[in-house]
Amino acid sequence: MQRLSDFSATVIEKESMAPGIWTIKLKPEKLRLRILPGQFFMIRAWSSKDPFLFRPFAVSGKNPDGSVDISFKVVGRGTELLAECERGQKVLMRGPCGNGFPNPLGKRLVLAGGAMGIAPLLFARHYYENSIRTLLLLGITGEPEWEPFSKAILQKFPDTLLFSENGMIGRKGTIVDGLAEILDENDEIWACGPEGMFHAMGKIEERWTLPIWVSLERRMACGYGGCLGCAVQTREGPKRVCADGPVFRLKEILWDEP
Amino acid sequence: MNPDKRMALNIGGLEFESPLFIASGVWPMDSAEWPDGALNGVGGFCTKGLTLRPKRGNPGIRVWETPCGVMNSIGLQNPGIKAFLEQEYRQLEKAGKPVIFNLSFETEEELLLLLGYIMDTAGNVPVELNVSCPNVSKGGLSWAQDVNALERVVTLAKRNWKGLLWVKLSPNVSSFTETALAAEKSGADAVVVANTWLGTAIDVSRLEPVFDNIHAGLSGPAVFPLTLRLVWETYAAVKIPVIASGGVCTWQDAASMIAAGASAVQVGSALFSDILATAKMYEGLSSLLEKRNIGSVADLTGIAHGRRRDTNREDLRHG
């Protein structure tokens, strides 16, 4: 695995997916990145010490020219500054961070993304396109920005199965309801989304024996496994989301324990 | 990076190749995870806070960004001293850099047991007593908040430890200098000035405290001037070496700490925003010595004391 480092990169493209949701293409300087789906980068689009910390972002795509795609929603100061970047602007990156998803063993890879959580699964979908059958699912809540976002995803991946909680687009219901309908016993599930979605998926894992891998999100300070700020409790004790994860077997995670 | 002999120093009889140390709690204990080049210019590094028994750490949010800083409430998550010595320390030994054992303890008995285990496996390595960690919520004041308790525990450590003994003090006390003097009197070889500054954060979207423990430790550039003041005052009060720790991010920060009285400097949160921060500080300090024709970094310690600003200078405006 490639050792993590800090390096600069240039914004070479910027695309609006929906109000407040962006995909940017970042081309690292002097570095050829080797990355797996599920790995992420810490990014800062400013050189000052304020904001003080990098922000973690999943990789949503990797391109032949060596650039990576980062898809994100503006949720605070750091993402706001990243969204303000224009083509040609330099940003700082740290990575590649984390373990990434392990090689799939199932006959079909079911990729289940809750809202913005679909980002790393878009990379997975592309990465395994020619080697394994994949199925992409997107689940959204009723906030208006997710409708144009869903359309943007459908435009790139027309066979995406879409679920909205209020039925505004796609089928009405949650992504977990949708999973229960389409699953086959030889499937393997990779999921990323809000924590509530993983809780609901626990029931799927109980009923089926198929493996479920999930990519977690946490506030992070270092991103290199030093500060222990992003811990999650597992059956094997506390783990770091940034360095031991962000991908874990769903059944390994102890949600309710401190 | 070119090693510079002028950067070498002696603290309490032990030689270090650089006055820059990695502070406790910011560095992975598995060398396979160390980013390339990040230990260049580092004189040694402090382990994460070690306790007698394993600790799972605090529940809830553990890190929270603030203007020019970060608050943390990790809760001393660590595998316990025995597991640390058996597994992680075996790796760290191979790093070729001095390892300073950062120790936390709730009773004197715990401290004695910790020192015993370390002696059996690692020998007389340097230790850093954490008498200040504000995150452990189990009853009562910290060691540093009660000068008598502080003297007792440092005296006990000194009697039972032949290696280097650093005491990492807490800024969250009514008289900092008093605690530094107490540590010196009780046999500390150096005082580390200081741990994180206690603060509070409210999540306004929920109108509730961010941290389960309500309070958490603030670090980063936001605390630099506060810690610089403590370094200045401690240097004026004690004779043992002062090791600065608090918001140092650039070589200018490190030089300020040293000029204010620090013999050495610990780098912590700075690594969050720049993994090569220490390496860059080394280069900067080394060129400062060169430019000013200063023979050794020790000659820079406390140099600003006794110097007063020249009021006839023309550069009194901000740039």
Residue A245 and residue A216 in contact, taking contact as beta carbons nearer than 8 Å: yes
State whether residue B35 sits within 8 Å of chain A by CB.
yes
Q: How far is B84 from chain A (nearest CA, A)?
A: 15
CATH number for the segment(s) A108-215 = 3.40.50.80
CA distance A258 to chain B (A): 4
Question: What pLDDT was estimated at residue B94?
Answer: 80
Cα dist from A198 to A90, A191, A203, A231, B279, whole Å: 36, 8, 9, 17, 42
**DSSP helix/strand/coil, A165:** coil
User: CA–CA separation, A163 vs A170, rounded Å?
Assistant: 5
Helices (H) and strands (E) in chain B, counts: 9, 16
Partner A contacted by B156 (CB < 8 A):
no
- Helix (H) / strand (E) element for A163: namely strand A161-164
Flag whether residue A222 sits within 8 Å of chain B, measured between CB atoms: yes
Residue of B46, B68, B133, B249 marked active site? B133
Chain-centroid distance of CA B249 in Å reads 14
> Can you tell me the distance from the alpha carbon of B54 to that of A256, in angstroms, rounded to the nearest whole number?
20
Task: Say which residues have a Cβ less than 8 Å from residue A46's Cβ, sequence separation at least 6.
Answer: A81
| Three-state DSSP state, A239 | strand
Average pLDDT over every residue of B267-289:
97
Q: Please, how many CA atoms are within 13 Å of residue A136, restricted to the half-sphere of its CB?
A: 23
Cβ-in-10-Å burial (0-12, 13-18, 19+) of A173 comes to middle
- Which residues of chain B have a CB within 8 Å of the CB of A49? 68, 220-221, 249, 273
Q: Tell me: the pLDDT tens digits for B214-240?
A: 999 999 999 999 999 999 999 999 999
Yes or no: say if B264 and B227 are a contact pair by the CB < 8 Å rule: no
* Alpha-carbon gap, residue B271 to B1, rounded angstroms: 18
Q: What is the DSSP string of B89-132?
A: HHHHHTTSS-EEEEE--SSHHHHHHHHHHHHHHH-S--EEEES-
Q: What is the pLDDT of residue B91?
A: 86
Beta strands per DSSP E along A48-128: 55-58, 61-62, 68-73, 90-97, 108-114
On the question of pLDDT at B282 being above 60, the answer is: yes
Q: What does the domain layout of chain A look like in residue ranges?
A: 5-97, 108-215
Query: Which pLDDT does position A1 carry in this prediction?
Result: 73
**Does the active-site annotation cover B46?**
no
Render pLDDT for B11-23 as a digit per residue (tens, 0 to 9): 999 999 999 999 9
Q: Which residues of B touch A231 (CB under 8 A)?
A: 57, 62, 77
The single residue listed with the structure tokens 């320390």 is B89
Contact A49 B68 (CB under 8 A): yes
Contact at CB, A54 and B273, closer than 8 angstroms? yes
- Residue A55: list chain B partners with CB under 8 A: none
Instruction: Tell me the pLDDT of chain A averaged across its residues.
Output: 95
Query: For the domain with range A5-97, which CATH number is right: 3.10.580.10, 3.10.129.10, 2.40.30.10, 3.30.70.920?
Result: 2.40.30.10
Query: Residue A30's pLDDT is what?
Result: 78
> SS3 for B79?
coil
On the question of pLDDT at B133 being above 60, the answer is no
Please name each of the domains of chain B with its CATH number: 5-300 (3.20.20.70)
Reported confidence tier of residue B134, pLDDT bands at 50, 70, 90: very low
Per-residue model confidence (pLDDT) at position B139: 59
| A30 neighbourhood in chain B, CB within 8 Å | none
Q: Tell me the nearest-neighbour CA distance from A55 into chain B, angstroms.
A: 10
Chain mean position to CA A152? 17
pLDDT at B137: 40
Between CA B55 and CA A182 the distance in angstroms is 42
Token readout for A193 is 């989304």
Q: Give me Rg for the CA atoms of chain B.
A: 19
